[in-house]
Amino acid sequence: MMKNELKQVTASAPGKLMLSVGYAVVHGYPTIVTAVDQRLFATVTKNGVDVFHLDAPDLGLTSYTKVMADLGKKDLPKAVRFIEILYKNFLEKYPQKEGIIVTTRSDFSSTYGFGSSSAVTVAFAKALTTLYGLELTNQELFDLCYQAVTEVQGVGSGYDLAAAIWGGTLYYVSPAKVVKPISLSDFPLVIAYSGEKADTPTLIRLVDAKLDKDPERIDTIFKRIAAIAKAFGNLAEQKNWKAIGDLFNESQECARELGVSNNRLENLINAALDAGAYGATSSGAAGGDCILAIAPPEAQENVIKALEKIGGKIIDVTIGAAGVTVEEIQE
């Protein structure tokens, strides 16, 4: 049942980090993803006319306007695709005569690989459904967002949507077949941005081409990545950071064998290891974005200095952050 008495809702959703190299998750294998405490906010306001309006300066788009009848038509700017398609799908199920104004703001740069597109999609979906009095479960909210993402991209594993919705640290199997929280506290993690943005779609195509050419070898690597995810939860609960460091090193070896690492990432990883880290790996797609190092407390400062010395930008975030949250309601 829909209620229509609300005028404006603001919701926020967290960014994410994969705690290993990705790729296997797209093919049905598990991964570990964690929500970070930098958030993306979306405010949705009824505007009284049949127009959709978006201001998303952090995503590089301002004063984007479309009549509701044209939603989803013609080429859509990258920054608006997920939001516009989700809104179109929502209106097909819940028709409305008046449109909305959407404004977004972000705590973090979209260059870090923290999943800004997924975070804004989830924040928008939560604000939109709350505005119209719909109380969706996490799974229903995931399904709404995942439909939009797959409609735009053709494929998607949804791990970043899951992190934005459920929050915390998750053992995840696509598409939200398994979403299992992992207890992770006092995790001695150092995160450094490489200075280079990963071109995830290109890297996925590269790995897929290798999978077509040599399925047995690539699938063996995927199984090794999956084994990392399966081992992670118990070790995290035991706070066996040395063993998780070994998992990070195995993750990075998989990245090398998939051909998605590069000199920049390897230099940062080697610097962290030489400075006393237990282990270090690329996050997610590799090819750029962030590296993750796990180090004992006595080595943390040396690891940070070593990474900064060669141009790594230390990212100060807390992992395991809360999932999507309604921040403000105006009636």
DSSP codes joined into one string, 89-150:
HHHHHS--SS-EEEEEEESS-GGG-S-HHHHHHHHHHHHHHHHTT----HHHHHHHHHHHHH
- Burial (CB count within 10 angstroms: exposed 0-12, middle 13-18, buried 19+), residue 236: buried
Domain 189-314 bears CATH identifier 3.10.20.30: no
Burial 142-178 (b: 16+ CB within 10 A, else e): bebbbebbebbeeebbbbbbbbbbbbbbbbbbbbbee
User: Where are the chain's structural domains?
Assistant: 8-183+319-330, 189-314
pLDDT tens per residue across all 331 residues of the chain = 455 678 999 999 999 999 988 899 989 999 999 999 989 999 999 999 999 999 998 878 889 999 999 999 988 888 889 999 999 999 999 999 999 999 999 886 665 556 688 999 999 999 999 999 999 999 999 999 999 999 998 878 999 999 999 999 999 999 999 999 999 999 999 999 998 888 877 888 899 999 999 999 999 999 999 999 999 999 999 999 999 999 999 999 999 999 999 999 999 999 999 999 999 999 888 887 899 999 999 999 999 999 999 999 999 989 999 999 999 999 8
Q: What is the CATH number of domain 8-183+319-330?
A: 3.30.230.10
**Which positions ≥6 away from 94 have C-beta within 8 Å?**
2, 132, 134
Instruction: Identify which of 155, 186, 187, 159 has the alpha carbon closest to the alpha carbon of residue 171.
Output: 159
Per the omega criterion (within 30 degrees of 0), is the bond before 175 cis?
Answer: yes
Domain 8-183+319-330 and domain 189-314 have a common topology? no
The conformation of residue 260, written as its DSSP 8-state character, comes to: -
**Strands, sheet with 279-282, edge to edge from the N-terminal-most edge strand:** 279-282, 290-294, 189-193, 313-314
Q: Are 170 and 45 in contact, with CB atoms under 8 Å apart?
A: no
